[in-house]
Amino acid sequence: MTLQIRSLEEYNEVYKQSVAQPEQFWAEQAETFQWHQKWDKVLEWEFDTPDVKWFVGGKLNITENCLDRHLAERGDQTAIIWEPNDPNAPAKTYTYKELHSEVCRFANVLKNNGIKKGDRVCFYLPMVPEMAIAVLACARIGAIHSVVFAGFSASSLADRINDAACKMVLCSDGNFRGKKQIPVKAVVDEAIATCPSIETVIMLKHTGQEVAWNEKTDKNWAEELTKVDNVCPAEIMDSEDTLFILYTSGSTGKPKGVQHSCGGYMVYTTFSFKNVFQYQDGDVYWCTADVGWITGHSYIVYGPLAAGATTVMFEGVPTFPDAGRFWEVCDKHKVNIFYTAPTAIRALMAKGLEYVTPYKLDTLKVLGTVGEPINEEAWHWYDEHIGKKNCPIVDTWWQTETGGIMISPLANITPLKPTFATLPLPGIQPVLVNAEGEEIEGNDVEGYLCIKFPWPSMIRTTWGDHERCRNVYFNRFKGKYFTGDGCRRDEDGMYRIIGRVDDVIIVSGHNLGTAEIENGINQHARVVESAVVGFPHKIKGNAVYAYIICDGDIDDVDALKKEIIGTVSKEVGPIAKPDKIQFVPGLPKTRSGKIMRRILRKIAGGDRDTSNMGDISTLLNPEIVASVIEGAEAV
Ligand code: WTA
C-alpha cells in the first residue's frame, strides 16, 4: 500500500529522505501500484525546455489501479455515493464492482463510436455519476478527456473543443442548479456549429427537457449502452502517455490546455490523497468541487478511487433548498472527511448559524479547503461551527498545473496555522525568489513561489503549444517552475499564499484570466477598450471590476452595463460577469502601451489617494488617473 505517514517525526524523516533521494522515494511509492511493465528509469528532467518524464518506460492503465485491483478485496464496498440536486430524490451508490462494470460498458460505447487511444473527448456534463464513469472509460481505452465546466458559454466551449480537436462531446440534455434547469445540449449545439472535428455527440437524458436532435451526429447515451457488454480489457499505456487535458485561464485570452500524463499523476494523486486527508478504510469522503475543475479530477475521481475510498459526488449547490444542504448531506451520508472552497464557507457563514445548528455533524473528522487563500474569519467559523474544534482543517495549496496538493497540513500529523497552507508534502521543494530570480533563504520572508525540483503529477506541456508552457512556467525564473503566486514563509517556516502576481483573478475559487474577460467585454459593439482587475469581495474572495471605454455618449448607463454583462455571460460564461463596471474616458498606460493594472487595482479596492499609486508621472497619460478616481466614486 501507498505510504501513509502517521506522526510528525515520520513526516520530518520522510520529507528529508524524499528531498535527498527523490527518485528512490517516488520509486518506492510507485511500487505499490499495478504495472504491466516496470519503469526503466524513475526520472528524466530538465526545466529549460522543459522536458520531464516520470517512470520512464513503465506500462500501466490507471483504471486498473482505480478499479480492477480493488475487486478482490473491496468489490462490494461503495466506491461512489451520488447525491442529487433534489433533496427528495434518492441518492445512488456504486460499489467498486458496479463501477468497474459501468466503466467497461461505457468504454465499449466510446469504442463503438470510433474513439481510439489518443483521441480527445470533450465533456460538458453536470455532476452526475455518468461523468465519473465516462472519465474513467476514456482512461480505460487511452482516450484523452478534456472536461469543460458546464457553466462555460458556447463560445468558450467551442474554443476548447477546437484547440484540442476533440472528436466527440459527451453532454446531457440539461442541468439542475437549485431550482433552475439549465440547458446543456443547446449550448453544445451552438458550440459545435463551429467545431469541424466533432463527429459524435452522446447525450445523457437527465432533466428530460426538450432538445434539438441532429440525426447525423447525436446519439442517446442509454441507447448506446444497450449495444455493448461490460467486458473491456484496459489499454496498456505508457507512463508518459497523456491521461487528460484540462483548460485553465492564463494571462493571454486563450486558455491553456494543461496536459497530465498517466503514471506520475496516478502515483501523486493517490499519495497526496491518503496523506493530506489521512483517509482510513471505511471513511466516507466528500469533495464538493465540480469534476470540471482539477480538484474534481484529482480528489473526487482518481486519487480517492486509486486509494480504494468511498467518494461522494454532489450534483447540487450549497444553498438549495437552503443554506443547510452541505450539513444535511454530511449527516445523511455520515461523511468523515469534507473538502470545500473558502467561497462556499463564506457564503454559508453569511446565512447564519440557524442553518448549521439543526445538524449533528458528529461523523466529521477532517475538514479541508482549496482554491484560494482562506481568510481568518472563515477559518475560525469552519473550525468552530462545522468541525466543533475537533477536526483539523487542511488548507491545501495547489494548481491545475501541479496536478495534486503541494503545500498543506497532513491532518492530525503536522501543525495547523489559520490561513497558512503550512508545509510542503514529501517530495515537494518550494522556494521563494525575488524579482531577479535569486532564492530567498531563511524565514520571515516573502517572494515569488517557485518549485525547484520535479514532482510526479506536474504539468508536462500545454496542448499543442510547448513554447507557451515554457514561457508561462519555466522562463521567468531559470531552472524553476514558477507558480504565479506570491507567498510568505513565516518565522516558523510555514508557507502562506498571498495571491496571484500575474493577470489571473480568482473569483469564488475559479481562475479567470483578465484577457479572457476583456476579450468577452470587447465583443460588445460599443466597447472600444477595457481593462479588468479583481477587487476584494466578502463572499467571492475577489470579484471582477471592469473599466470600459465606450464610443460616443452613453444615454442609459445601467442599460448598457446590463448589455455588457450579458455579452460577457454569453462569450465567456456567467462566472466571469463583472460585479462592477466603470465607464472611463481612458486607461492609465505606460509609454509602451501596457495598461497599469496596479493603479486600477488600487482604485477598484477603494483607494482614492494618488500618492499611493506610485510614480504616475512616467505614464503616457498621467491626467487620466484623477479622472478614473473621480468616476470610481459613483460606481
Ligand atoms: C490559488 C485549484 C491560497 C492559487 C486547485 C493557485 C490557493 C490557484 C489555494 C490555482 C490555497 C489554490 N490557498 N491560494 N489553499 N489553493 N489557490 O488551477 O493562486 O484552479 O495558483 O487549482 O488558486 O487554481 P486552480
DSSP track, 496-561: EEEEESSSEEEETTEEEEHHHHHHHHHTSTTEEEEEEEEEEETTTEEEEEEEEEESS--S-HHHHH
In a domain, 614, yes or no: yes
Return the residue whose CA atom lies nearest to atom 7 of ligand 1: 372
State pLDDT tens for residues 36-84: 999 999 999 999 999 999 999 999 999 999 999 999 999 999 999 999 9
pLDDT for position 156: 93
Measured from the CA of 511, which atom of ligand 1 is nearest?
20
Return the residue whose CA atom lies nearest to atom 12 of ligand 1: 371
Question: What is the four-CA torsion angle of 318, 322, 327, 328, rounded to 10 degrees?
Answer: -120
What number is the average pLDDT over the span 332-342? 97
Q: Which of 207, 235, 263 is the last residue of a domain?
A: 235
State pLDDT tens for residues 459-491: 999 999 999 999 999 999 999 999 999 999 999
State pLDDT tens for residues 541-594: 999 999 999 998 999 999 999 999 999 999 999 999 999 999 999 999 887 777
pLDDT band at 407 (very low <50, low <70, confident <90, very high): very high
* Cα–Cα dist 533/601, whole Å: 6
In a domain, 481, yes or no: no
In a domain, 203, yes or no: yes
State pLDDT tens for residues 275-309: 999 999 999 999 999 999 999 999 999 999 999 99
pLDDT for position 125: 98
pLDDT band at 429 (very low <50, low <70, confident <90, very high): very high
Cell numbers given for 330: 454530511
Is it the case that residue 499 has pLDDT exceeding 90? no
Q: What's the CATH number where 627 sits?
A: 3.30.300.30
* Cα–Cα dist 43/52, whole Å: 7
pLDDT for position 620: 85
In a domain, 562, yes or no: yes
State pLDDT tens for residues 504-539: 899 998 888 898 899 899 999 999 999 999 999 999
Neighbours of 605 (CB within 10 A): 12
User: Domains in the chain: how many in total?
Assistant: 2
State pLDDT tens for residues 127-158: 999 999 999 999 999 999 999 999 899 999 99
pLDDT band at 455 (very low <50, low <70, confident <90, very high): very high
pLDDT band at 253 (very low <50, low <70, confident <90, very high): low
pLDDT for position 395: 98
pLDDT for position 457: 98
Cα 450 to the center of its chain, rounded Å: 19
In a domain, 228, yes or no: yes
pTM over 0.85: yes
Quick one: what percent of the chain has pLDDT higher than 90? 91
pLDDT band at 252 (very low <50, low <70, confident <90, very high): low
* Cα–Cα dist 338/365, whole Å: 8
* Cα–Cα dist 439/442, whole Å: 10
* Cα–Cα dist 129/358, whole Å: 29
Q: Is the CB of 146 under 6 A from ligand 1?
A: no
What number is the average pLDDT over the span 586-614? 88
Q: Which of 204, 235, 266 is the last residue of a domain?
A: 235
Is it the case that residue 360 has pLDDT exceeding 70? yes
pLDDT band at 618 (very low <50, low <70, confident <90, very high): confident
Is it the case that residue 251 has pLDDT exceeding 70? no
Q: Is the CB of 371 under 6 A from ligand 1?
A: yes
Side-chain-facing half-sphere of 46: CA atoms under 13 Å: 2
Cell numbers given for 84: 442529487
pLDDT band at 416 (very low <50, low <70, confident <90, very high): very high
Q: Is the CB of 575 under 6 A from ligand 1?
A: no
Between the CA of 295 and the centroid of ligand 1 the distance, in Å, is 10
CB contact at 8 A, 365 and 335: no
In a domain, 22, yes or no: no
pLDDT for position 310: 98
State pLDDT tens for residues 147-190: 999 989 999 999 999 999 999 999 999 999 999 999 999 999 99
Return the residue whose CA atom lies nearest to atom 1 of ligand 1: 372
Q: Is the CB of 398 under 6 A from ligand 1?
A: yes
Q: Which of 189, 205, 235 is the last residue of a domain?
A: 235
Between the CA of 372 and the centroid of ligand 1 the distance, in Å, is 5
Non-local (6+) Cβ contacts of 559 within 8 A are none
In a domain, 170, yes or no: yes
Q: What's the CATH number where 165 sits?
A: 3.40.50.980
The whole domain housing 180 covers: 104-113+128-235
| Amino acid residing at 483 | T
CB contact at 8 A, 399 and 483: yes
In a domain, 75, yes or no: no
